[in-house]
Structure 1
Amino acid sequence: MRKLFLIAAVVTVSACATPKAQIAEGLTGYGVAEGPAKCVGERLQSNLSLGQLRELGRVASATRARDPDPSRLTIDDFLRAASEVRDPQIGIEVAKAAGRCNLVPLGFAPAKYEMDDA
């Protein structure tokens, strides 16, 4: 419960902090290194409108009851919440920000290709 509330707080715009600062602060509070957290915040602020950031926060709040482990935030959780937003650009931008900021989802395993020597 706490995790998705944080996501909502992270992307909710307030007068005292920029969206990128709120996103970065929220992510670092859950163990994301400061550099990647700031990177994600900057990218999302640059590529999403305030309305889109609010929508991401709204959807994250609505999905909090389904969260199996509200005590920690992973990039997987953030990507899952973003994928539930009706605006596809939001999910795309969150995924791009995660990738460009070196946040690899825990469920991601690169494909292994074996070369045939024949």
Structure 2
Amino acid sequence: MGIGLASLAACVNPSARIATSLEGYGFQPAQSQCVGDRLEANLSLGQLQQLGRAARASRDGDTTPGRLTASDFVRVSGQVKDPKVPFEVAKAAAACGILTDPASPL
């Protein structure tokens, strides 16, 4: 039952799902939630799904799969064919303070 509820919550609350994913890559919780909230507010569910697929695909074969830098995140968003996605990702990253040190994890 817990897995089913978690899956349902993820569908209902994309912001929380984004935040949890970003925290898994080393982002600070407040920054992760900030990015998640902004992306949920400014991108459609379809755009968020495309971003998620691009992020997963970019991690396949990665030698450091548990680490994602701000520049990695922005670069991955550029792989989505919808130009609004990388624009909103970059805007959220800047607004949430994750682009202040490009060498540090999100």
Q: Tell me the matched-pair count.
A: 94
Higher normalized helix content (fraction of residues): 2
Amino acid at match of 1:23: I
Tell me which residue corresponds to 1:64: 59
Q: 1:84 aligns with which of 59, 79, 96?
A: 79
The alpha carbon displacement at 1:32 in A equals 1.2
Q: Deviations 1:66-89 (Å, cap 9, x if unpaired)?
A: 635223122121111101110010
Return the TM-score normalized by structure 2. 0.78
8 A contact 2:24–2:66 mirrored in 1: no
The alpha carbon displacement at 1:34 in A equals 1.2
Identity of aligned residues (%): 49
Q: 2:94 aligns with which of 84, 99, 102?
A: 99
Amino acid at match of 1:54: Q
Alignment of 1:1-118 (within 5 A): 14-17=7-10, 18-65=13-60, 67-104=62-99, 106=102
Tell me which residue corresponds to 2:4: none
> SS of the residue aligned with 2:60?
helix
Return the TM-score normalized by structure 1. 0.71
Bigger-Rg structure (1/2): 1
Mind listing any 5+ residue stretches in structure 1 that lack a counterpart? Answer: 1-13, 108-118
CA distance in 2, matches of 1:34, 1:57: 19
Taking only aligned residues, the RMSD between alpha carbons, in angstroms, comes to 1.7
